[in-house]
Amino acid sequence: MRSDPVLVTGAAGFIGHAVAHRLLERGERVIGIDIVNDYYDVSLKEARLATFDGQAGFSFHRIDIADADAVAALVRDHGVVRIVHLAAQAGVRYSLENPFAYQRSNLQGHLSLLEASRHAPGFEHLVYASSSSVYGDKPMGGAGFSEDEPAMKPVSLYAATKRSCELMSESYAKLYRYSQTGLRFFTVYGPWGRPDMAIFGFTQKILAGESIEVYGEGKMARDFTYIDDIVDGVIGALDHPPENGGHRVLNIGDSHPVGLMEMISTLESKLGIVADKVMRPMQPGDVTATYADISKLTALTGYQPKVMLDAGIGNFVKWYREYYGR
């Protein structure tokens, strides 16, 4: 295996933590960076980082990705030529309350990584997190959301920043000719997940005996994708950079959208508790359905999701009970 390290931003985050572990498992050296902010429970982020204790191939730096000088120095000093950029300010609803957090982390932070990459000698590949939210509230027909669609009508600031990052990367690829891949993540869940995501939040409330708020009157659908499958796709994309310094965007999801009420029913079954459900209208910035056409990623890497929702939610509930002692 190669001796040069892979830089993983957002290493204390849900997906970054999982990607870093997979890279370590296959013998890579990994440099993780994260600001470890308080958008959600800091102790969960610290617990994720604690899972790297004793890992000889892992080093961690508490850095704000919007600090361009710090990011550039780290890339330069460690001879980084491959980056998996997963750090960002997440959340659609939170963007309505704290818009400038998205400007700093998502836009300024992405620009920091672009600049550090273009100045790194022999740089090979920047893989970065985009989002299915860039498609906007697209009606779901018989086919999944395709990367060839224009994706120019975001319905949240979060989505707008993610689409902006794609356009920034496109311009840098044309100007400086180094390979970049944007991954449009569909709804990710699993052990070590984010508390602001539906499956995690519903589990917390159901076990606490609280009612859950079901937005969109329960009529929404999501392409729920298990974390291990997501990691397969991220690593596969990293290992297959575009030729001749190009830029591309790829969907990464399960390709089997599930209705919100079906997800809740599955969660109730795994918890052994029927939830008290309060129906709410759609929230500003939400979309009705997401559905990934994954044919491009599959053709490139052989990506094929393996974990179905029933098993995935079962794994999450098992982890949750163990982690929180319930």
Catalytic residue numbers read 158
Q: Using an 8 Å Cβ cutoff, are 181 and 130 in contact?
A: no
Number of Cβ within 10 Å of residue 72's Cβ equals 18
CA 152 – CA 84 distance, rounded (Å): 25
CA 139 – CA 160 distance, rounded (Å): 19
CA 28 – CA 277 distance, rounded (Å): 45
CA 135 – CA 150 distance, rounded (Å): 8
**271: phi then psi, degrees, rounded to nearest 5:** -85, -20
Q: Are strands 58-61 and 82-85 parallel, antiparallel or unpaired?
A: unpaired
* Residue 296: CA count within 13 A, CB half-sphere: 18
**194: phi then psi, degrees, rounded to nearest 5:** -95, 135
SS3 call for 6: strand
CA 129 – CA 63 distance, rounded (Å): 18
